[in-house]
Structure 1
Amino acid sequence: MSTRAVLEVIALGPEDAVAAQAGGADRLELVTDMAADGLTPPVRTFGAIRAAVDIDLRVMLRLADGFAAGDVEGLVRAAAELRGAGADQFVLGFLGTDGAVDLAAVERVVAELDGCRWTFHRAIDRAADRDALRKQLADLPGLDTYLTAGSASGVDDGLPTLLAEARRRGEPGYEQTLLVGGGLRLDHVPALRAAGIDGFHIGGAARPDGWTGPVSATAVTRWRQELDAVRGDRS
Structure 2
Amino acid sequence: MAYGLLEVAVEHARDVPGAVSGGADRLSLAVGGDAGPRSPDLAAASAVLRESDVPVRVLLRLNDSYTTTGGEFTRLVGLGEEYLALGAEGVVLGFLDADLEVDAATCAALAEALPGVPWTFHQAIDATLDPRRSWRRVRTLPGLTAVASGGSPQGLSHGYDELLALAEEDPEVARLLMPAGGLVAEQVPWFVRAGVRQFQVGRQVRPGGSSRAYVDAGLVRSWRLLLDSTAGHPAG
Same fold (TM over 0.5): yes
Return 5+ residue gaps in structure 2 as ranges: none
* Mean CA deviation greater in 126-135 or 91-100: 126-135
Following TM superposition, by how much is the alpha carbon of 1:7 offset from its aligned partner in structure 2, in angstroms?
A: 0.8
Aligned match of 1:205: 204
1:42 equivalent to 2:21? Answer: no
1:214 paired with 2:214, answer yes
What residue is the counterpart of 1:227 in the other structure?
A: 227
| Number of aligned residue pairs | 229
Contact 2:49-2:86 at 8 Å conserved across structures = no
Offset of residue 57 of structure 1: 0.6
The corresponding residue for 1:104 is: 105
Query: 2:4 corresponds to which letter in structure 1?
Result: A
For structure 1, the residue ranges without an aligned partner over 5 or more in a row are none
Counterpart in 1 of 2:124?
123
Alignment of 1:46-61 (within 5 A): 46-61=45-60
Please report how far the alpha carbon of residue 81 of structure 1 lies from its aligned counterpart in structure 2 after TM superposition. 1.8
Amino acid at match of 1:43: L
User: Aligned ranges for residues 136-155 of structure 1 at < 5 Å?
Assistant: 136-155=137-156
* TM-score w.r.t. length of structure 2: 0.89
2: CA distance, partners of 1:135 / 1:97: 19
Whole-angstrom CA distance in 2 between matches of 1:186 and 1:176: 20
CA shift digits 1:83-111 (9 cap, x unpaired): 23232311110111211112232122112
The root-mean-square deviation of aligned C-alpha atoms, in Å, is 1.9
Larger deviation, residues 82-91 vs 13-22: 82-91
SS of the counterpart of 1:219?
Answer: helix
Distance 1:20 1:196, change over 3 A: same
One-letter identity of the residue aligned with 1:36: A
| Match of residue 10 from structure 1 | 9
Question: Aligned pair in 2 of structure 1 residues 120, 176: CA closer, same or farther (>3 Å)?
Answer: farther
Between 63-72 and 180-189, the greater mean CA deviation after superposition: 63-72
- Residue 192 of structure 1 and its aligned partner are, at CA, apart by 2.1
Partner of 1:114: 115
User: Percent sequence identity over matched residues?
Assistant: 34
Q: What residue identity is the alignment partner of 1:66? A: S
Q: Please give the TM-score of this superposition, normalised by the length of structure 1.
A: 0.89
Indicate the residue corresponding to 2:75 in structure 1: 74
Runs of 4+ residues deviating >4 angstroms = none
1:27-71 deviation line (CA, Å, top 9, x unaligned): 100111115332111222222222212111111111111312242
- Given that 2:149 and 2:180 are in contact with CA atoms closer than 8 Å, whether structure 1 keeps it comes out as yes
Alpha-carbon distance in 1 for matches of 2:141, 2:194: 26
Q: Distance in 2 between matches of 1:37 and 1:19?
A: 24
